[in-house]
Chains A and B, each alone.
Chain A
Amino acid sequence: MSVTDKIIKIIAEQAVLETSDVTMESTLEDLGIDSLGLVESIFAIEEEFDITVPFNANEPTNSDFDISSISKIIEGVERLLKEQAV
């Protein structure tokens, strides 16, 4: 499964939606994922890819990880995978 597919699966599960309902342009808000759901999604991403996502729930827009859309999240994860590759 590609990085994109894995992330879409994680987000869809969190939003209790079909993976087909999650598009590149979707925002977490569109999908009904609240702040607790966001933190849980980030945890699931960290577990899935064995990476550390720099994210502080107190200042979500000021983190080094862009969560403004699904495509941004995928980009961010791909960057972290490169940076944190052992």
Chain B
Amino acid sequence: MKRVVITGAGTINALGHSVADTMTAMAEGRCGIGPLAFRDVGRLSIQIGGQVRGFEAEGRYNRQQMSLYDRFTQFTLAAAAEAIAQSGIIFSGEMAAKSGVVLGTAGGGVSTWDDNYRSVYEDGKNRVHPFVVPKLMNNAAASHVSMEYNLKGPSFTVSTACASSNHAMAQAFQMVRTGMAPTMVTGGSESMLCFGGVKAWEGLRVMSKDACRPFSANRNGMVQGEGAGIFVFEEYEHARARGADILCEVAGFAMSSDATDIVMPSKNGAARAISGALNDARLNPEDVGYINAHGTGTAANDKTECAAVADVFGPHADKLMISSTKSMHGHLIGGTGAVELLACIMALRDGVIAPTIGYEEADPECALDVVPNEARDAKVDVVLSNAFAFGGMNAVLALRKV
């Protein structure tokens, strides 16, 4: 088994267009959620989201690229450029042949579906642009990253709703750990903030109309976000040999399935994923200083997640910190674990624990240290990142300071 480290990180999300800006915003407890702005927003009952602002695809991508890149691909490529530049790797020869890209997304090119359905159903058009299919397909973003950076190894897209990115990163981690690939580009992206994307979520009646307040007794639902988080996972000795700047180590992971309900979370499924990740990383519960929670701000998730953490950690659950950065950037659905991994890196590398903002009232069912409202300086050596998806599919990553 080889050790796996992260040597590049990139992002774009409602908090910033780079890792540095995003971490600064997290450390300041800034909220990136605001009024949604897109066509037909007036017909939605949900009017807020963590929308990426000031991102102009025009000028960044040429005409041909624009006709092929859905917004989720645009986000992915922007984040991948930052991550791969930071890693300093130029993919060629054997490295290129063996390295690949595994990304997560739940919806893929949602706005491409939306725009073209509108065109044929509402506007009555009978012709769509020839690239609708290659633009909307869920693997489009991974494909364009592979083409842009000459990644010729195993590449595919994972779709497990809100756990997509964590499942993708777990898969990439496994590939590097087993020696199958020297490096993998991984993470995920989502762009569902368009009329159809938000309308679909409205139907489920789990959305908040005013704010995402994870773990707070007065929480009233989730808030959607959008964006991407992309990382370069690299074999430790390979990274050391070339003098790479190592952000942290990916120490282990676990996946589990609740096998119970299509939307309701299960304490048992979550607990098995958390304890599984600790076992896989050969860590004791007491080693964990911080958990980046799934923390969606729904009644069901937050209490179930806290109960699972209490089960796994026992008395240590009261000593560790657990926060949900969804309160700041919203729920990026299939991209969420990737952006949240940044809070884990910030905790390990900078000793800054991102807060759960919007926290107003203690909930006895979420009686853990949720780092309310203000970031905290703390030295932690091991962190976990939770993702628990609709469909009962869970993926937890364990990360360690190097």
Contacts and interface: CB of A to CB of B under 8 A. Distances in A.
Interface residues of B, number: 6
B127 A40 contact: no
A36 interface: yes
A47 interface: yes
A39 interface: yes
A45 B5 CA distance: 51
B129 interface: yes
Contacts of A39: 130
Contact of A47 (B63, B67, B127, B131): B127
A28 to B, nearest CB: 15
Contacts of B131: 36, 40
Contacts of A42: 130
Interface in B101-148: 127, 129-131
A46 interface: yes
A46 B127 contact: yes
Contacts of B129: 40, 43
Contacts of A40: 67, 129-131
A36 B134 CA distance: 11
Interface in A31-80: 36, 39-40, 42-43, 46-47, 52
Interface in B48-90: 63, 67
B68 to A, nearest CB: 9
A52 B130 CA distance: 13
A36 B67 CA distance: 11
A40 B130 CA distance: 6
- Greatest chain B CB density within 10 A among A13, A40, A42, A46 is at A40
- Greatest chain B CB density within 10 A among A39, A42, A43, A46 is at A43
Interface of A: 13, 16, 36, 39-40, 42-43, 46-47, 52
